[in-house]
Structure 1
Amino acid sequence: MSPAKTPLIGLKADQFRHPLDLEATQALKQLPGLDLMIRSLLGPLAEQVFYLDNIASSILVSDQQLPHLHQLLIEACKILDLELPQLYIRQHPVPNAYTFAIRGRQPFIVVHTSLLELLNPEEIQAVIAHELGHLKCDHGVYLTLANIMVLAAGQLPTLGGVIAQTLQSQILEWVRCAEFTCDRAALLVTQDPKVVASLLMKLTGGSPTLASKLNLDAFLAQARSYDDVSNSDLGELLKQAQVAPLTHPVPVIRAREIDRWAGSKTYQTLLQNGKNEYNSEASSKGGWRNW
């Protein structure tokens, strides 16, 4: 791990959780029986299905298999003060990554090969850290339901009509809010907002041939143009309609959010406290810890 990066010993999820994530999570917790249903019924079944699929159709990363990716995972986990999950690489033409975890069970992350081909090592670690953010914040319960709903989207009218559609809308809103938190986890690991913004830019319009030619400053200026659309009521209405069916906030807004948080006192304090804690622990042991 680069000496410039600060490990965040004792980091708590609520220290970096986005306010919208907190608000949306509290709203879901008000739905009676939802948490219990996922943990006791949907979660265990989905876990077995995904695990079998991963073992059969993906590569399990380890110190013996793609060790450079394994090292990125280890470093990210140590910075976020998190136990090591499994990491799988899957052959897939659509750049994507996702995670699955029910509390008390073995969590895992899956990254598509097309995403690896698009990014440099720092950006790949940002992707891993983003997924680790879901684990750190215990997003697994509602994330499980979100994944199932997305897979079953075409059948929702037969699964409960208006009630299912309402629940789907609420879950999708929660997922979008949770993504802001996980982008913060990516920043805490990379400790460079340009890395996270570059990742988002490449996900927006990149390819292995275009990635090196993209202009990050122009992309951030594009984000400001998107904000300007909200200056009219019609523009704001159109933006809400555009986002409502999505599982992720639009990339320009994610880039703007992470750029703002990188300049916040909260972020700077987390890094400084982490540095102080790390130095104190290293000093008490007579030197730097062996990572």
Structure 2
Amino acid sequence: MTASDAPVKGFQLKDISPRAWQHPADRAATAALASVPYLDKVVRMLIQLGYERALRQASLGASVRLGEQQLPEVWSDHVFAYTTLDMGDTPSLYVTQRPFANAFAIGAKAPIVVVNSELLRLLDAPQRRAVFAHEAAHILSDHQLYRTALLILLQLTESSRMPLPLMPVRTALLEWSRATELSCDRAAALVTRDPLAVCRTLMSITAGAMTDQLDLDAFMTQSMEYAEKGNGIERLTRLMLDLGVTHPLPVRRTRELMTWVRSGDFDRIVGGEYIKRDDPVSVRAESGEAVSFYSDRFKDAFKDAGETIGQGGQQLADWLRKAKDDLGGSGGDDADR
């Protein structure tokens, strides 16, 4: 048994703040998202009109809730993430039969975590813990309101009932969502105390088959060959690949994570030196060249989203009420109960 085959007993990141592991792209995207006028009103409208309740019911209707009597080892791996991150409540965990490896958290006020059966089939215990830690980091980071709104918008896109004024909102939320994934990969590495376990997880999910025959060193070399630089066609190709997906490309995620580990921040945080939840925000720490660099990428898409929401007004609200039937929502103010 290797060191990563079992949780590190007694290890806890007491009172750790999500700012401790936040990627500069996440920080910049979150700031840009906060500047979009009326965005919160539209997002909360999606929740209040019953979209979240419909999404939650669709997930739970064909799922099995796990616990000490149902797949207890998987449940234990789930609980471990919340204990390590010093989170008071552990959300319910459900497994559903889906043929692709994925896990996600639903709910702005009372999150639940849903994991696809294919992910449990594909991943071993250390990799499962990395996935559960990643989802726990989303919850601790208060990503759930916007993430749930994005899941709703993606459902509307699939049903071909996405109102045109919401398209820039979807684009802005996708940009933000991809940035948050880079942060939560760092949190997964901290919880498992094994960045390579996170890299193996990304490799396994990306390949989807014969994972026991894959070579992590080769995948790491591949990830280091990936770079943002290149000629115009290469950069445009990467941008187009990014635009329609909720997660950054796996090779990029691996490279970003290991670059952060080599910076020394991983060892520093594991050693107990990190930002606590009640620590004051340092303007100097929250700014800098990295954040400015990423801000340039986000500002146009987020500006379009703001202008669209401001112009949509009542028409957007009417479209939302009509389109909710495609998700089976029945409306009401108790969507989060």
TM-score for the superposition, normalised by structure 2: 0.74
CA shift, 1:264, in A, is 2.5
- Deviation per CA, 1:138-182: give whole Å up to 9, x if none: 00111112111211225668612xx42222211111111011111
Find the partner of 2:83 among 73, 78, 82. 78
- Indicate how the Cα distance of structure 1 residues 156 and 18 shifts in structure 2: closer, same or farther if over 3 A, else same: farther
1:99 aligns with 2:101: no
Distance in 1 between residues matched to 2:255 and 2:190, nearest whole Å: 16
Q: Would the aligned equivalents of 1:172 and 1:247 in 2 still touch at CA under 8 Å?
A: yes
Note closer, same or farther for the CA distance 1:66–1:151 as it changes in structure 2 (3 Å cut): same
> Which amino acid is 2:44 matched to?
R
Mapped to 2, the partners of 1:173 and 1:5 lie a distance apart of: 36
Q: Rate the CA distance shift 1:12–1:246 in 2: closer, same or farther, 3 A.
A: same
Q: Residue deviations 1:13-34, cap 9 Å, x none?
A: 1111111111111111112222
Distance 1:122 1:63 in 2: 19
Matched, 1:232 2:238: no
Q: What is residue 215 of structure 1 aligned with on the other side?
A: 215
Q: Does 1:200 align with 2:190?
A: no
Whole-angstrom CA distance in 2 between matches of 1:274 and 1:80: 14
The one-character-per-residue Cα deviations of 1:193-247 (angstroms, maximum 9, x if unpaired) are 110000000111132xx110001111111112222x7232321222112211111
Q: Is the contact made by 1:5 and 1:190 (CA closer than 8 Å) also made in structure 2?
A: no
Report the CA distance between 1:40 and its aligned residue.
Answer: 5.2
Residue 41 of structure 1 deviates from its aligned partner by 4.3
Deviations 1:51-88 (A, max 9, x none): 33344311111122211111111211111111211111
Aligned-partner SS, 1:273: coil
Q: What number of residue pairs does the alignment pair up?
A: 269
2:153 match: 149
**Which residue identity is paired with 2:92?**
Q
Alpha-carbon distance, 1:3 to partner: 3.7
In the alignment, residue 207 of structure 2 is paired with which amino acid?
A: G
SS of equivalent residue, structure 2 residue 100: coil
Q: Which amino acid aligns with 1:25?
A: T
In structure 2, relative to structure 1, the CA distance for the partners of 1:221 and 1:182 (3 Å cut) is same
SS at match of 1:99: strand
Unpaired stretches in structure 1, ≥5 consecutive residues: 278-291
Greater alpha carbon shift after TM alignment, 54-63 vs 212-221: 54-63
Verify: 1:126 aligned to 2:130, yes or no.
yes
What one-letter code is carried by the residue in structure 1 that aligns with 2:150? Answer: A
Q: Cα deviation per residue 1:98-148 (whole Å; 9 max; x = unaligned)? A: 11131xx32111000111111100101111111111101100111112111
C-alpha change, 1:3 and 1:251, in structure 2 (3 Å) is closer
- Correspondences of 1:130-279 after superposition (within 5 Å): 130-154=134-158, 159-160=163-164, 163-207=165-209, 210-227=210-227, 230-273=229-272
Aligned counterparts, 1:12-91, within 5 A: 12-39=17-44, 41-42=46-47, 45-82=50-87, 83-91=89-97
What is the distance in 2 between the residues matched to 1:31 and 1:100? 23
If each structure's helix is expressed as a fraction of its own residues, which one has the higher value?
1
Aligned to 1:285: none
Which one of the candidate residues 89, 112, 127 is aligned to 1:108? Answer: 112
Corresponding position of 2:308:
none
Percent identity at matched positions?
Answer: 32
Question: For the aligned residues, what is the CA RMSD?
Answer: 2.2
Greater relative contact order (Cα 8 A, min sep 6): structure 1 or 2? 2
